[in-house]
Amino acid sequence: MKLAVITDSSVFFPEQFKKADNLFILDIPVTIDGDTYVEGVNLTATEFYEKMAAAQNLPMTSQPSVAQLDELLFKLANENYTHVVGLFLSSGISGFWANIQYLIEEHEGLTIAFPDTKITSAPLGMMVMNALNWAEAGLSFETIMDRLHQQIEKTSAYIMVDDLNHLVKGGRLSNSSAILGNLLSIKPILYFDETGKIVVYEKVRTEKKAVKRLIDVMVKLSEDGSYDVMIIHGNAVEKANSLYEQLTTDGVTNLSIATFGSVIGTHLGEGAIALGVTPHFD
């Protein structure tokens, strides 16, 4: 078996994994005041938040290119790949996953799987890294897919946003709720529901209580086994470091810090912070 792993630029994982010969990343363009960028090509996460703060309008994101994926699949077949797994951002926040299913039948020379990850960012990155590691270890395609489905089923992310106005502009919260929330210092906690959509989980008074609630939720989610826990932030390094210290003090292991890049940062805004939980595989 020669396996290719394809993902998109909403993903987050350590730089060394991007050097894998069998990893391919589809671009998700971000448009800021008429200029188009691709993170990792002509934009860093830090530069994105700087540009977003100075922009007259909220940035806009596009889907990855279906045509680019189609072309890549032809290329992989010509390079003697036999199997492909595509791990892309959740169908609940992008129509891309639904739009590419027909490609599975179009490329008969390849065994292709496009599971709906129902997640993005660092938890998506953990799935990609696992798939690469399992392929290198010589696991069968069926075993890799079985493990990925197990991981998808038990992966969650809960998010605290700093700016309610981003949720209003993205259609996640009414303007009246945002005004009331700002006046009452309400911090909404969002999460990826079972369909992969980002929805409001709870509205909590004050950031301190919201952070405590995030930790409580994470502990409950991970209590039935071994999990990797990711602190993900939108240009909020101090918040992330503080949360890391709290969790470390509480005895949480397999803990890492990641960044919301331009794709997800567009919709959550600067200052957002999240806890992602995904099963740990040895």
Indicate if the pLDDT at residue 259 is higher than 50: yes
Q: What is the DSSP letter of 19?
A: G
Q: Are residues 141 and 121 in the same domain?
A: yes
Tokens at 180, concatenated: 């009331």
Q: Are residues 174 and 220 in the same domain?
A: yes
Average pLDDT, the chain: 88
How would you label 92-123 residue by residue, b for 16+ Cβ within 10 Å and e otherwise? bbbebbeebeebbeeeeebbbebbbbbbbbbb
Whole-number percent of the chain with pLDDT over 90: 55
Give the C-alpha separation, 212 to 241, whole Å. Answer: 15
Q: Are residues 144 and 9 in the same domain?
A: yes
Indicate if the pLDDT at residue 221 is higher than 90: no
Residue 35 lies in a domain: no
Residue 51 lies in a domain: no
The residues that bridge with 278 in the sheet, in sequence order, are 228
Q: Are residues 108 and 16 in the same domain?
A: yes
Provide mean pLDDT across the span 257-281: 90
Q: What is the pLDDT of residue 138?
A: 95
> Which burial class, exposed, middle or buried, applies to 82 when counting CB atoms under 10 A from its CB (0-12, 13-18, 19+)?
middle
Better-predicted residue by pLDDT, 10 or 170? 10
Residue with tokens 């977003």: 52
Identify the band that residue 97 occupies on the pLDDT scale cut at 50, 70 and 90: very high
Residue 54 lies in a domain: no
Q: What is the pTM of this model?
A: 0.90
Q: Are residues 166 and 149 in the same domain?
A: no
Indicate if the pLDDT at residue 80 is higher than 80: yes
Q: Are residues 135 and 19 in the same domain?
A: yes
Q: Which CATH number is 137's domain given?
A: 3.40.50.10170
Tokens at 32, concatenated: 């800021």
Angle between helices 141-153 and 121-136 (to 10 degrees): 160
Q: What is the pLDDT of residue 176?
A: 47
Indicate if the pLDDT at residue 164 is higher than 80: no
Provide mean pLDDT across the span 40-64: 89
Q: Which CATH number is 250's domain given?
A: 3.30.1180.10
Q: What is the pLDDT of residue 200?
A: 80
Identify the band that residue 113 occupies on the pLDDT scale cut at 50, 70 and 90: very high
Domain count, the chain: 2
Whole-number percent of the chain with pLDDT over 70: 91
Choice among 77-91, 126-140, 169-183 with the minimum mean pLDDT: 169-183
Residue 145 lies in a domain: yes
What is the enclosing helix (H) or strand (E) of 189? strand 186-192
Q: Which domain holds residue 242?
A: 156-279
Give the C-alpha separation, 168 to 172, whole Å. Answer: 6
Residue with tokens 């934009």: 43
Question: Measuring CA to CA, how many Å separate 136 from each of 22, 80, 145?
Answer: 10, 17, 14
Among the candidates 121, 154, 187, a domain finishes at 154
Give the C-alpha separation, 45 to 257, whole Å. Answer: 14
Q: Are residues 110 and 238 in the same domain?
A: no
Residue-wise pLDDT tens digits, 146-156? 999 999 999 99
Identify the band that residue 215 occupies on the pLDDT scale cut at 50, 70 and 90: confident
Please tell me the chain's helix, strand, coil percentages from 3-state DSSP, rounded to the nearest 5: 40, 25, 35
Q: Are residues 173 and 86 in the same domain?
A: no
What is the enclosing helix (H) or strand (E) of 258? strand 255-259
Q: Are residues 160 and 275 in the same domain?
A: yes
Better-predicted residue by pLDDT, 113 or 15? 113
Among the candidates 131, 154, 177, a domain finishes at 154
Indicate if the pLDDT at residue 30 is higher than 70: yes
The answer to whether 151 touches 194, Cβ cutoff 8 Å, is no
Q: Are residues 211 and 267 in the same domain?
A: yes
Identify the band that residue 6 occupies on the pLDDT scale cut at 50, 70 and 90: very high
Q: Are residues 140 and 169 in the same domain?
A: no
Angle between helices 207-221 and 237-249 (to 10 degrees): 50
Q: What is the pLDDT of residue 168?
A: 58
Q: Of the ranges 63-72, 164-173, 257-266, which is most confident?
A: 63-72
